[in-house]
Amino acid sequence: LDLGQVLPIYEPSEYPATAALIEGGFISDQSPVVGALQSNAWPNDVAFNTPEIMEEWDAHGLVPLVPVYNSGSNGLFCSQERNDLSSISGTAVGSGGT
């Protein structure tokens, strides 16, 4: 058994149907618990029942255990309160996903 993680959202030209589902996956409640469960349950049900999505994985020789995974909403976390643009000037800021 060989396991790996593939992120179709970073290769939308190779996984167009899967990427479209991922982009639509943000139409969910984004609360910490319910949002994470909701935004992973229905997209995977759709993925497993959409031939075009499963064919994309098959074309790459892959059998997905979980074709769509949403790690949850991103937030801005600071070590001190920052309320305006001048307070974040010169600060390193990162974002996950697109």
Q: How far is CA 27 from CA 8, 63, 73, 83, 88, in A?
A: 18, 26, 12, 28, 29
The DSSP code for 31 is S
- Identify which has the larger pLDDT, 7 or 62: 62
Quote the pTM value.
0.63
pLDDT at 73: 62
Distance CA 69, CA 22 (A): 8
pLDDT at 47: 94
Contact criterion met (CB below 8 Å) for 52 and 17: yes
Distance CA 26, CA 22 (A): 7
- Residue 97 is assigned to a structural domain of this protein: no
pLDDT at 7: 84
- Residue 78 is assigned to a structural domain of this protein: yes
Owning domain of residue 57: 8-88
- Residue 2 is assigned to a structural domain of this protein: no
- Residue 95 is assigned to a structural domain of this protein: no
Q: How many domains in the chain?
A: 1
- Residue 93 is assigned to a structural domain of this protein: no
- Residue 82 is assigned to a structural domain of this protein: yes
pLDDT in tens, 37-91: 777 888 899 999 999 999 999 999 999 999 988 776 666 677 788 888 888 888 8
